[in-house]
């Protein structure tokens, strides 16, 4: 079956160095709904027996594009280079190039007394303040987010606080980090293909399938304590805490009122605490196992939310809508492997009564 075609390109120097690459791996996003976004990184292993690193003009903070089927999949900047010069055998010399994405750079850029005026498009405001601007894009307005006259700290922390307050997600679209607020997640729902155990023209088949259930403080939370900046801590507890004891988390948010803070706490406790058997997923996909490799290429570059079919041991075929939290890609000369980290869409169900994907009628207590 067909393989994915990858290109590795030094954008600042207009240099394609794909022919020197032996393998690469990169990560984007996060693994679980309650994780912070820690930044995406890439490691590129390439030959350097004739100085290929210098020929490609790879040096600190050079901008590198990793392209899948001609489309940007990862955008990163050189963070460092490890040279393996293999003394006595220069023909085996290699180098590992480490890249960091815009999240990594945001964590390295510290603000002092920065004014932030936007209450509903603060991601865009922050994006414009980065040394490499416009790497973050906010799709539509968020809930009300506290501004600041004297913000001091790194920008990655501030962006994670916005996520904690608004309960939306960041997803990569052609290497750019798009923020979707809770009510806009439906935009990313893809219906043209799905995940499943058997490859077809409309199914991306997985090689391995892990179900993750009942991890306290990670995938199962029945109490949330949310502290909006400069306001009192708000606590919400799900009734399951009376049966299995509490599995609590604390969240620092930028909500502007204690009511919004309580709503956020209630949302977490009820969306993630109704059922300890509710599962998140990790699947591994290979390009050479696909019938329609173009679907996988599209998924890698544009990060859609797919329906997934699976059959637990002794169970029946189950179908569930998932949200893509993050991915890890490993590229080799003969194939590509991709790990997808998926949450059940129920973690994000917006309060719409009668809708087959986003509705909570007869299925949840997510009304405040």
Question: Cα(273)–Cα(347) distance, rounded to whole angstroms?
Answer: 10
Q: Does position 294 have pLDDT exceeding 50, yes or no?
A: yes
Q: How far apart are CA 95 and CA 83, in angstroms?
A: 4
Express as a percent the part of the chain with pLDDT over 70: 93
| pTM to 2 decimal places | 0.91
Taking the CA atoms of 191, 197, 199 and 204 in sequence, report the sign of the dihedral they define: positive
Question: Pairing relation of β-strands 318-331 and 307-310?
Answer: antiparallel
Boundaries of every domain in the chain: 6-100, 106-186, 189-214+277-348, 223-271
The pLDDT tens digits for 126-185 are 999 999 999 999 999 998 999 998 999 999 999 999 999 998 999 999 999 999 998 888
Q: Cβ(283)–Cβ(322) under 8 Å?
A: no
Report the CATH number of the 189-214+277-348 domain. Answer: 2.40.30
| pLDDT, mean of residues 78-86 | 94
Cα–Cα–Cα angle for 156, 158, 160, nearest 5°? 70
Grade residue 223 by pLDDT with cuts at 50, 70 and 90.
very high
Q: Answer yes or no: is pLDDT of 366 > 80.
A: no
What percent of the chain has pLDDT above 90? Answer: 74
Residue environment code for 133-162, b if the CB has 16+ CB neighbours within 10 A, otherwise e: eebbebbeebbebbebeebeeebbebbbbb
Tell me, yes or no, if the two domains 6-100 and 189-214+277-348 fold the same way.
yes
The domain defined by 6-100 folds into Elongation Factor Tu (Ef-tu); domain 3 (2.40.30)
Cα–Cα distances in Å, from 228 out to 208, 218, 232, 307?
A: 40, 21, 7, 35
How is residue 208 written in tokens? 């391995």
Q: With bands split at pLDDT 50, 70 and 90, how would you rate the model's confidence at 271?
A: confident
Strands 169-173 and 176-180: antiparallel
pLDDT at 361 > cutoff 50: no
């Amino acid at each position: 079956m067909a393989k994915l075609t990858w290109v590795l390109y030094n954008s600042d120097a207009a240099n394609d160095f794909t022919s020197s690459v032996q393998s690469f791996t990169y990560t984007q996003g996060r693994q679980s709904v309650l994780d912070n976004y820690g930044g995406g990184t890439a490691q590129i292993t390439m030959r350097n027996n004739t100085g290929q690193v210098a020929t490609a003009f790879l040096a600190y903070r050079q901008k590198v594009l990793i392209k899948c089927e001609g489309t940007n999949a990862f955008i990163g900047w050189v963070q460092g280079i490890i040279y393996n010069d293999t003394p006595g055998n220069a023909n085996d010399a290699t180098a590992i190039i480490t890249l960091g994405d815009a999240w990594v750079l945001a964590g390295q850029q510290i603000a002092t007394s920065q004014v932030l005026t936007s209450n509903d498009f603060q991601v865009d405001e922050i994006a414009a303040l980065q040394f490499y601007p416009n790497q973050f894009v906010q799709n539509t307005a968020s809930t009300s987010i506290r501004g600041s006259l004297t913000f001091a700290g790194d920008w990655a922390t501030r962006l994670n606080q916005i996520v904690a307050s608004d309960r939306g997600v960041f997803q990569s679209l052609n290497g750019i980090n798009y923020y979707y607020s809770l009510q806009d997640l439906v935009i990313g729902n893809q219906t043209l293909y799905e995940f499943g155990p058997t490859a077809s023209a409309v199914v991306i088949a997985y090689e391995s399938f892990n179900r993750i259930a009942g991890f306290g403080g990670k995938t199962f939370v029945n109490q949330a304590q949310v502290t909006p900046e400069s306001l009192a801590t708000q606590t919400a507890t799900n009734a399951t805490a009376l049966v299995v004891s509490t599995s609590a988390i604390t969240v620092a948010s930028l909500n502007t009122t204690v009511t919004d803070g309580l709503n956020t706490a209630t949302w977490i406790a009820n969306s993630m605490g109704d059922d300890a058997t509710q599962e998140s997923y990790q699947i591994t996909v290979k390009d050479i196992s696909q019938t329609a490799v173009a679907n996988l290429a599209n998924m890698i570059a544009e990060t859609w939310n797919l329906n997934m079919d699976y059959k637990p041991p002794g169970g029946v075929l189950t179908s569930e809508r998932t949200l893509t939290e993050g991915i890890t890609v490993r590229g080799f000369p003969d194939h590509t492997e991709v790990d997808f980290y998926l949450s059940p869409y129920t973690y994000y169900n917006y309060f719409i009564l009668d809708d087959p994907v986003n509705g909570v009628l007869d299925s949840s207590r997510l009304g405040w």
